[in-house]
Amino acid sequence: MNNISISKRESEIINKIKEQELIMFTPKDVQRFLHISKRNTYQLLQRMKKKNIVINVERGKYFLKEQWNAMDIYAISSSLITPSYIGFWSALHFHHLTDQVPQTVFVIITKRKRSQIIQHQKISFVTVTPHWFFGYERHHHAVVSDKEKTIIDCLHNPAYCGGIDHIYQALTSDLNIDTLIAYCQQTKSSTIASRLGYLLDKKQLLTNGKSLKMMITSYATLDPRIKKKRVDKTWKLYVGDRIE
């Protein structure tokens, strides 16, 4: 950017974005900064785009090129839509709960949005109901589910984290078991209670499973992909032969 001629207005936009610590910005932000018309705003952004000062990732959404180059894909992905957070397999990897590197970045949102390719990676948006949208935290520019909510989300949709085996491997004594149970209760899901109780029990991390058992109202399947199943009556769960 040092060799690019930057106008006074362009410089004002850059400074305002940095002052307000915006990651992604819109034409409305520019109008607000400079008090100019919609037409002049789009003309100004088009000139900045041609100069490679800004990146237009999708309609009405822009990043400063220098910030874009400095951010990782998790920060960019969780900035594309609000509210949103990085979840499932991506969050497992972010929290070092798995050695597997996911090929897709999973972003949890409350409104439908199509998948897209950014920086040669697929961004998959998974829509949840508003009551499910909790248990996330900010890590610099990225918004990510916390460790315990990551486990709960994965138990809800094991396909988005590589299956039950990956969840089982991620369960360690570093997790807050009370928080896990509280999050499970917040979901009001009998299936998640069965899966969580069974896996914690198997890992010998559960000292009192009474609150989880009280949530269970019907039989569920541990891993929908496994056809050969046996019954675990304690957790009302159809399970496979083994978990690695």
Kindly report, residue by residue over 112-136, the tens digit of the pLDDT. Answer: 999 999 989 999 999 999 999 999 9
Q: How confident is the model at residue 2 (pLDDT cuts 50, 70, 90)?
A: low
Kindly report, residue by residue over 205-229, the tens digit of the pLDDT. Answer: 999 999 999 999 999 999 988 776 7
Task: State the span(s) of the chain assigned CATH 1.10.10.10.
Answer: 8-70
In this prediction the pTM is 0.90
Question: Distance (Å, rounded) from C-alpha 72 to C-alpha 228?
Answer: 41
Kindly report, residue by residue over 13-61, the tens digit of the pLDDT. Answer: 999 999 998 999 999 999 999 999 999 999 999 999 999 999 999 999 9
**Other Cβ atoms within 10 Å of 52 Cβ, number:** 10
Q: Residue 231: is its pLDDT beyond 70?
A: yes
- Which letter does DSSP use for residue 160 in this model? G
Domain spanning 8-70: which CATH class is it, in words? mainly alpha
Kindly report, residue by residue over 173-195, the tens digit of the pLDDT. Answer: 999 999 999 999 999 999 999 99
Question: Distance (Å, rounded) from C-alpha 229 to C-alpha 146?
Answer: 32
The DSSP line for 79-139 is: TSSSSEEE-HHHHHHHTT--S---SEEEEEESS----EEETTEEEEEEE--GGG---EEEE
Q: Residue 104: is its pLDDT beyond 70?
A: yes
Amino acid at 213: K
To which residue do tokens 């496994």 refer?
226
Q: How confident is the model at residue 243 (pLDDT cuts 50, 70, 90)?
A: low
Q: 82 vs 61, 133, 152, 234, CA distance in Å?
A: 12, 12, 21, 41
Kindly report, residue by residue over 153-170, the tens digit of the pLDDT. Answer: 999 999 999 999 999 999
Least trusted range by pLDDT, from 72-81, 180-189, 235-244: 235-244
Assess contact for 139 and 156: CB atoms under 8 A: no
Among the listed residues 109, 127, 107, 105, the one whose alpha carbon sits nearest the alpha carbon of residue 118 = 105
Q: Residue 244: is its pLDDT beyond 60?
A: no
